[in-house]
């Protein structure tokens, strides 16, 4: 099962780059308005920004039962650009600074499943992200960047190649298509990716479905990515998560 962990980070990289588990509320300390000020933030300013992002993201209590937090992290524009420098579909440092992204948060969740449950299908992983921008215009431009990149016919092929080179595991028949989705937030995007991957431990091919939803509310972007084996999660369940995400964004930014 550890073999699958990189998928939850690799698939929605464009959302994590352009876009919780606790009850932390934002500190009254003012969040810096300029992304170039991140490196020179005071300890209080950095803490306030991180608290805002965690409050804006989906939390463990918002997710279906059975999931646990694997890892969480914050990323500056420089860190994100360096991590994704070999991905032609990820935003560059110049893109992120142009959008006015200040800081981003990412959390990965999973649930343990047996070989029998794996064969039966179901949701395996979830990733949630949140990012705050200097203004709503920059956040809107960042979401549009994601929409255009994910709509590129070469995106799925690039995913196959990148995942194979980074993990040594072959992904086949990858495809990505937009999803019809309810109106949530000030703007939203939704995509579904399908692909086949060989599991060497079980010597079996499995069909995977990943549903990715990004929501913009004012100058914040949040996302939720659901990785399932076999049948995808019900759209209604995903829409409920998106509405909760939108409310988290709204409350945090207010």
pLDDT of the chain, 254 residues: tens digit per residue? 333 444 444 444 555 556 633 333 333 345 555 444 566 678 898 999 999 999 999 999 999 888 999 999 999 999 999 988 888 888 999 999 999 999 999 999 988 765 555 565 678 889 999 999 999 999 999 999 999 988 888 888 877 777 666 666 677 888 889 998 989 999 999 999 888 877 777 677 888 888 999 999 999 999 999 988 877 767 888 999 999 999 999 999 98
- CA distances (Å), origin 213, targets 29, 51, 173: 30, 22, 22
pLDDT at 158: 78
Residue 147 and residue 216 in contact, taking contact as beta carbons nearer than 8 Å: no
Task: Name the residue among 165, 161, 131 with its Cα closest to residue 146.
Answer: 131
pLDDT at 150: 87
SS3 121: coil
Helix ranges (DSSP H) in 152-231? 155-167
Gap between the Cα atoms of 56 and 218, Å rounded: 12
Gap between the Cα atoms of 171 and 191, Å rounded: 18
Is 0.85 topped by the overall pTM? no
* 86 secondary structure, DSSP code: T
């Amino acid at each position: 099962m550890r073999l699958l962990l990189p998928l939850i980070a690799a698939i929605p990289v464009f959302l994590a780059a352009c876009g919780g588990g606790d009850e932390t509320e934002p500190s009254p300390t003012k969040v810096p308005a300029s992304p170039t000020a991140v490196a020179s933030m005071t300890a209080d300013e950095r803490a306030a920004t991180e608290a805002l992002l965690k409050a804006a993201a989906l939390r463990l209590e918002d997710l279906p039962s059975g999931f646990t937090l694997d890892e969480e992290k914050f990323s500056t524009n420089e860190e994100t650009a360096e991590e994704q420098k070999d991905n032609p579909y990820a935003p560059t440092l110049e893109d992120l600074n142009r959008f006015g992204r200040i800081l981003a948060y990412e959390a990965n969740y999973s649930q343990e499943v047996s070989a029998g449950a794996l064969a039966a299908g179901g949701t395996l992983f979830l990733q949630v992200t949140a990012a705050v921008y200097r203004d709503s215009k920059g956040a809107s431009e960042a979401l549009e960047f994601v929409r255009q990149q994910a709509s590129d016919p070469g995106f799925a092929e690039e995913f196959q190649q990148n995942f194979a080179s980074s993990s040594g595991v072959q992904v086949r028949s990858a495809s990505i298509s937009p999803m019809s989705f309810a109106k949530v937030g000030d703007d939203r995007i939704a995509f579904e990716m399908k692909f086949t991957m060989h599991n060497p431990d079980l010597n079996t091919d499995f069909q995977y479905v990943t549903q990715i939803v990004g929501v913009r509310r004012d100058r914040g972007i949040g996302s939720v990515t659901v990785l399932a084996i076999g049948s995808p999660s019900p759209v209604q369940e995903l829409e409920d998560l998106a509405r909760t995400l939108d409310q988290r964004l709204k409350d945090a930014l207010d």
